[in-house]
Amino acid sequence: MWVAREKDNEEESECGGSIEQQKKKEHICGRPLGLCFCNHTGELYIADAYKGLLLVGPHGGTASSVVITSHQQQQQEPEPSTFTNSLDIDQTTGLVYFTTSSSIYQRRNYISLILSKDRTGRLMKYDPQRKEVTVVLNNLTFANGVALSRDSDFILIAETTNCRVLKYWLNTPKAGTLEHFADLPGFPDNIKRSPRGGFWVGMHSRRDKLVQWILSYDWIGKVLVKVPLDITRIYSYLGKLKGSSGFAIRVSEEGDVLEIVEGLVGNSISEVEEKDGVLWVGSIDTPFAAKYKRISK
């Protein structure tokens, strides 16, 4: 059985404080990365990087851990994830699709995850009726955002390290087929459907020449991961010095780039949700959501 660890009273007392203090304690207090409501039940599912899949009832309250058992047809249970990331829900069946980015690296070590080219990411499917989880895809490289198509014929999965999006067919004659969907000019995070068609992809940052060179040679990444330094903190510091910023891309159902929006909220765009002509923008580096009104038609 795979059960997300619940927060005890001692852990609760350690949470809070400034943004920097919270970042240092995220492995204790949790870090919610993905949210999605089930329209039929009103329940809110949360993908927490450290505590796994969580659930909040239709009237709100404290999030509880989702108890998950393995699918009966599988020979062994899925291993607990070290880094649960994003989710989406098939509103017709109630099935919850979610990603686990790695079984080795935690979210706070995401730069090491990229440098190592770790391939323990997965796409999972949770059946709330049976309380069962099934591994849909294995061997993904930093599995991140997921988004179902409007009719749930396919699901998109962002591979952050590879700067690309994959398409996995679900309910057509192509069911079970994995395809390349789009190459991107940077590191993708979450994916959300756009009411105008296509999908919004939040982009953490561009893949500059230095990063591209490092990722071209496996030995460089392996050496950097073993260096006794906080690689993630160094990367964030260098990003601020260079003035790099996140951006958002809207792609069509076929993976073609429809528009690019920059200067939304600063660094590290994690998610873009479009509603009534407004973009609501999130970032892993800011304690607020931004509202962007100017959308090209």
Tell whether the model's pLDDT for residue 5 goes beyond 50.
Answer: no
Residue span of the structural domain in which 33 resides: 2-183
Average pLDDT (197-221) is: 81
- pLDDT band for position 23 (cuts 50, 70, 90): confident
Cβ atoms 117, 161 nearer than 8 A: yes
Q: State the Cα–Cα distance between residues 164 and 254, nearest whole angstrom.
A: 14
Average pLDDT, the chain: 85
User: Is residue 232 included in any domain, yes or no?
Assistant: no
User: Is residue 240 included in any domain, yes or no?
Assistant: no
Q: What pLDDT is stored for residue 235 in this prediction?
A: 64
What is the identity of the amino acid at 261?
Answer: V
Tell whether the model's pLDDT for residue 47 goes beyond 70.
Answer: yes
User: Is residue 188 included in any domain, yes or no?
Assistant: no
Q: What pLDDT is stored for residue 244 in this prediction?
A: 59
Three-state DSSP state, 244? coil
Q: The domain that contains 122 carries what CATH number?
A: 2.120.10.30
Most confident residue range from 116-120, 224-228, 262-266: 116-120
Tell whether the model's pLDDT for residue 20 goes beyond 70.
Answer: yes
In tens, the pLDDT along 109-122 reads 888 899 899 999 99
Which ranges in the chain belong to alpha helices (H)?
A: 9-14, 19-24, 26-29, 110-116, 209-216, 218-226, 231-242
Q: State the Cα–Cα distance between residues 276 and 272, nearest whole angstrom.
A: 13
Q: What pLDDT is stored for residue 4 in this prediction?
A: 42
Tell whether the model's pLDDT for residue 41 goes beyond 90.
Answer: yes
Q: What pLDDT is stored for residue 227 in this prediction?
A: 75
Give, to the nearest 10 degrees, the angle between helix 218-226 and helix 209-216: 100
Tell whether the model's pLDDT for residue 154 goes beyond 80.
Answer: yes
User: Is residue 48 included in any domain, yes or no?
Assistant: yes
Long-range contacts of 224-227 (CB under 8 A, 24+ apart): 224/112, 224/115, 225/112, 225/115, 225/116
Q: What pLDDT is stored for residue 224 in this prediction?
A: 78
Tell whether the model's pLDDT for residue 73 goes beyond 60.
Answer: no
What is the identity of the amino acid at 34?
Answer: G
Separation of first and last alpha carbons in the chain: 48
- Look at 261 and 236; give whichever has higher pLDDT: 261
- pLDDT band for position 232 (cuts 50, 70, 90): low
Burial class (CB in 10 A: 0-12, 13-18, 19+), 288: exposed
Angle at 144 between CA 162 and CA 151, to 5 degrees: 110
In tens, the pLDDT along 272-292 reads 999 998 999 998 888 888 888
Q: State the Cα–Cα distance between residues 111 and 33, nearest whole angstrom.
A: 17
User: Is residue 192 included in any domain, yes or no?
Assistant: no
User: Is residue 239 included in any domain, yes or no?
Assistant: no
Q: What pLDDT is stored for residue 63 in this prediction?
A: 92
Q: State the Cα–Cα distance between residues 225 and 264, nearest whole angstrom.
A: 31
Tell whether the model's pLDDT for residue 102 goes beyond 90.
Answer: yes
User: Is residue 99 included in any domain, yes or no?
Assistant: yes
Tell whether the model's pLDDT for residue 80 goes beyond 90.
Answer: no
Tell whether the model's pLDDT for residue 238 goes beyond 60.
Answer: no
User: 277: alpha, beta or left, given left = phi > 0 and alpha = psi -120 to 50?
Assistant: left
Q: What pLDDT is stored for residue 209 in this prediction?
A: 72
Average pLDDT (164-171) is: 96
Tell whether the model's pLDDT for residue 243 goes beyond 60.
Answer: no
Cβ atoms 44, 53 nearer than 8 A: no
Average pLDDT (139-154) is: 96
Question: Can you spell out the DSSP letters for 188-211?
Answer: EEEEEE-TTSSEEEEEEEE--HHH
- Look at 297 and 115; give whichever has higher pLDDT: 115
User: Is residue 280 included in any domain, yes or no?
Assistant: no
Count of domains forming the chain: 1
